Structures are given as structure tokens and as C-alpha cells.
């Protein structure tokens, strides 16, 4: 089948859960023999790249501003695919999905799939107008997509109760690879040692709660460092606030965005991982930390509890004092921390391995495509029969 992906910045993954999701799914579908096409944005991808691990890349420009980057690129990508031979169009996130009505009208035989990743209108970086538009995108996604995929039961219930649509719940995944804790010399650039730092991997956006983590860390008596991996996303003011909050503490290290071996080494050698978000969709960074067997400290929001079950140390959302208590416990009880990390590793192997999840999504594609094709045949047959009867009359 010819499968087109729309909504991501690009692949290889350039940061963000959507990009990671598309990277893992698209590459595996290509390995299964499908013709896979991924739209990429000039700002985030090499314009000269046409193939990535068997996936076809279609490079298009965008209006590179906070509010227009995604939607302008999605508009151009949608126009482009209207003139292509397509079996399946897969939109990602509610913003880009606001335009899926176009192929719904003009490519009626094509299966339109949309993944409702998160309620991103809650993200504090968006203006009031942008939040309204994102809610419109949610409505369009849940109303007009042929098949809806959600990563959590929370979003599945929302689709059913608010829109009367049955969404398929398939969690986000992670690539499971052996990750022995062997110190890598590449970490010397940050003066880091094995098992001697706490790790957070996140976009530096206010709802990710990194300010709670910094305050809690500063109130915790430890010689372990705090390493914050990630950068802002049109949130320069918040990034400045975080660095001011850190007060030039040499034990609080901002590495910026890290990928590939650098990121793997940071996960492999950490003592514990903290996810302090006020709200989430389905955190890829959380799954990655679980796959390395790290003890997980996470805010007790429903999304985190659904992913982690009992394989984590939870603190009360937005409560810095409670996070201090949990940090102290994890740091002073290394055996218990290690055991929880192993629980998280076994859980991620059982439920969140991409090699298993891709088969579920592929099955959804095949079944939904067949159903749509059969429905079109029935409608054509019904229309032809009605026309014949009218002609006789």
C-alpha cells in the first residue's frame, strides 16, 4: 500500500513525540514492504534527502513561525497529495488534522487515519486563538477521520463520550535495545560520571514542569547532578527563567537537544529519570527512560499513571515539596530504586515495544482499507441500481 504521513516536522526524528512516533512507524512499515512517504519541513530536515531507511521523503517549505509553521506545511502537503495515488493518509496531532477534510472530499476512495496524540490546546505556549483552532482540529479529527488512533484510554474515552466515535487505543512505543551501564567518554564534555546524575529529557515548555524539578533539586541534599536535556519551542522567555532559577548552580546542567549516541549515553549512565509534567499526551521520553531500566520519578497525572502503573515513584502534580520528598527517598534507597527501574523495564518490554505495536497498526490499516473499499463498491452498486430503476420508470 501507498501510505502518506502528514503533520510531523520530519524524520529522522528531530525532537518531539510525533517525530519519534512517525520515524519508528514509517521505517518499520517500509521494512514490511509498503511504499511509505513522509512530508518533512525545510527548517528541520536536509532538503537534499529523498530516502531515509527505505522511507520516501517529500521536502516542502513552511511559514516558520510559532503559530503557522505546522499548519502552513500541512496545507502544502495536503495539496500535494491530492494529486498523488494514495491508499492511506495518516495525519498526526489535532492541529494538522484540521485539514483532513480536504482529502475527505477530493479523495473519497482513500482511507484517512488520524492519530489524536494529545490535547495540546492545554499547552501554555499557545495563544488563545491557537487554542481555539486546536480544539477545532480535534473536532474535525474526531468527526471526519475514517479511523482514529489514540495512545491512551483517557483520549479513547474522550472520543467516545464527546464525539460518539470509537477510537482504537494503541500506545506509543519505544525501540527496545540492550543498554548496559557502561560509561562513555562522550559525557566528559559535561563532566558527568556513571550513576552520578539525575536526568530529565523534555522540551523546555512551561507545562513540562521543569521549574518544579529545579526547585525541588535545589532543596535536596545530594552530590548527584541534575542534567536537563532539551530546548525551548518558541519559549525563549521560559528557558531564560529556568536558567535564572538554576542560579548558575554548576551541578544543574542544560545540554540542549541531544540525539543518537549522545542521548543514549545520557540515558544509560543516569541514576534516575524525572518526568515533572503538569499534563502529557503519551510521553516518548518516559518510555525511553523505562527501556533503560531507570528508576522513574513522575508527576501523578492520569496519563503518567496509565503508562507506568506501579513501576514508578509518583509525586503530587505541581507540588515541589512532595517532589523533594520523593527525590530524597529515591536517592537514599538505591536498592528499592533499582528494583522499580527493573519493573519499568519489564513493563515497557511487555506493552510498549514498537516491533509489536507496528503489527497492530498495520492490521488496522489493512482492515479499515478493506472495509472502506467494500463500502464504496456497495454505494456504487446501490447508485447504479437506483439509476437503472429510475430509467425504467
Query: Is the same domain home to 264 and 153?
Result: no
Query: In whole angstroms, what is the distance from residue 387 CA to residue 392 CA?
Result: 9
Q: List the grid coordinates of 229.
A: 536535556
What does each of the 393 residues of the chain score in pLDDT, given as a tens digit?
A: 999 999 999 998 766 788 989 999 999 999 999 999 999 998 888 888 899 999 999 999 999 888 899 999 999 999 999 999 999 999 999 999 999 999 999 999 999 999 999 888 787 778 889 999 999 999 999 999 999 999 999 999 999 999 999 999 999 999 887 655 555 677 888 999 999 999 999 999 999 999 999 999 999 999 999 999 999 888 899 999 999 999 879 999 999 999 888 898 999 999 999 999 998 878 889 999 999 999 999 999 999 999 999 999 999 999 999 999 999 999 999 999 999 999 999 999 999 999 999 999 999 999 999 988 888 777 765 555 455 445 554
pLDDT at position 382 is: 57
User: Is residue 115 assigned to a domain?
Assistant: yes
For residue 329, what is the domain's CATH number? 3.40.50.2000
Residue whose cell numbers read 522540551:
203
Cβ(251)–Cβ(226) below 8 Å:
yes
Which residue carries 515497557 as its cell? Answer: 348
pLDDT at residue 135, as a whole number: 95
Give the C-alpha distances (Å, rounded to integers) separating 92 from 19, 22, 67, 251.
Answer: 9, 9, 17, 38
CB 198 within 8 A of CB 217: yes
| 326 & 368 share domain | no
> What pLDDT, on a 0 to 100 scale, did the predictor assign at position 179?
57
Residue 389 inside a domain? The answer is: no
Counting Cα atoms < 13 Å in the Cβ hemisphere of 153 gives 5
Residue indicated by cell numbers 477521520? 145
Q: Which stretches of 1-42 are assigned E, i.e. beta strand?
A: 2-6, 35-41
* Same domain, yes or no: 106 and 224: no
For residue 235, the model assigns a pLDDT of 87
Note down the domain range covering 162: 2-173+354-383
One domain for residues 90 and 16: yes
Q: Provide the domain count of the chain.
A: 2
Same domain, 326 and 361: no
Q: Are residues 169 and 205 in the same domain?
A: no
C-alpha cell at 343: 519493573
For residues 168 and 243, membership in a common domain is answered with no
**pLDDT number for residue 380:** 66
Amino acid at each position: 500500500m501507498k501510505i502518506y504521513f502528514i503533520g510531523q516536522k520530519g524524520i529522522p526524528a528531530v525532537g518531539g513525540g510525533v517525530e519519534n512516533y512517525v520515524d519508528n512507524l514509517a521505517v518499520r512499515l517500509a521494512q514490511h514492504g509498503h511504499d511509505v512517504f513522509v512530508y518533512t519541513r525545510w527548517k528541520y530536515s536536509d532538503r537534499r534527502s529523498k530516502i531515509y531507511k527505505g522511507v520516501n521523503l517529500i521536502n516542502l517549505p513552511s511559514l516558520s513561525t510559532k503559530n503557522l509553521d505546522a499548519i502552513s506545511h500541512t496545507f502544502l502537503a495536503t495539496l500535494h497529495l491530492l494529486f498523488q495515488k494514495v491508499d492511506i493518509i495518516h495525519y498526526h496531532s489535532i492541529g494538522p488534522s484540521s485539514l483532513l477534510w480536504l482529502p475527505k472530499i477530493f479523495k473519497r476512495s482513500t482511507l484517512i487515519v488520524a492519530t489524536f496524540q494529545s490535547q495540546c490546546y492545554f499547552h501554555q505556549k499557545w495563544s488563545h486563538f491557537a487554542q481555539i483552532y486546536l480544539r477545532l482540529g480535534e473536532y474535525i479529527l474526531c468527526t471526519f477521520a475514517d479511523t482514529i488512533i489514540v495512545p491512551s484510554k483517557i483520549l479513547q474515552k474522550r472520543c467516545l463520550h464527546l464525539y460518539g466515535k470509537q477510537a482504537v487505543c494503541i500506545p506509543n512505543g519505544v525501540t527496545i535495545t540492550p543498554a548496559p551501564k557502561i560509561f562513555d567518554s562522550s559525557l566528559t564534555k559535561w563532566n558527568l560520571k556513571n550513576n552520578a546524575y539525575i536526568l530529565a529529557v523534555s522540551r523546555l515548555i512551561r507545562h513540562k514542569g521543569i521549574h518544579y524539578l529545579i526547585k525541588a533539586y535545589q532543596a535536596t541534599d545530594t552530590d548527584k547532578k541534575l542534567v536537563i536535556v532539551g530546548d525551548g519551542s518558541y519559549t525563549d522567555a521560559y528557558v531564560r527563567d529556568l536558567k535564572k532559577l538554576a542560579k548558575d548552580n554548576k551541578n544543574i546542567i542544560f545540554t540542549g537537544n541531544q540525539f543518537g549516541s549522545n542521548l543514549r549515553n545520557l540515558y544509560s549512565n543516569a541514576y534516575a529519570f524525572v518526568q515533572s509534567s503538569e499534563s502529557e499526551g503519551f510521553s516518548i521520553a518516559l518510555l525511553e527512560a523505562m527501556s533503560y531500566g531507570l528508576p522513574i520519578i513522575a508527576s501523578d497525572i492520569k496519563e503518567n499513571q496509565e503508562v507506568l502503573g506501579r513501576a514508578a515513584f509518583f509525586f503530587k502534580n505541581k507540588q515541589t515539596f512532595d517532589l523533594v520528598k520523593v527525590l530524597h527517598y529515591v536517592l537514599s534507597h538505591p536498592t528499592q530504586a533499582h528494583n522499580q527501574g527493573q519493573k519499568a523495564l519489564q513493563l515497557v518490554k511487555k506493552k510498549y515495544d514498537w516491533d509489536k505495536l507496528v503489527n497492530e497498526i498495520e492490521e488496522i490499516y489493512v482492515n479499515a482499507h478493506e472495509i472502506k473499499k467494500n463500502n464504496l463498491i456497495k454505494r456504487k452498486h446501490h447508485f447504479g441500481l437506483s439509476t437503472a430503476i429510475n430509467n425504467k420508470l
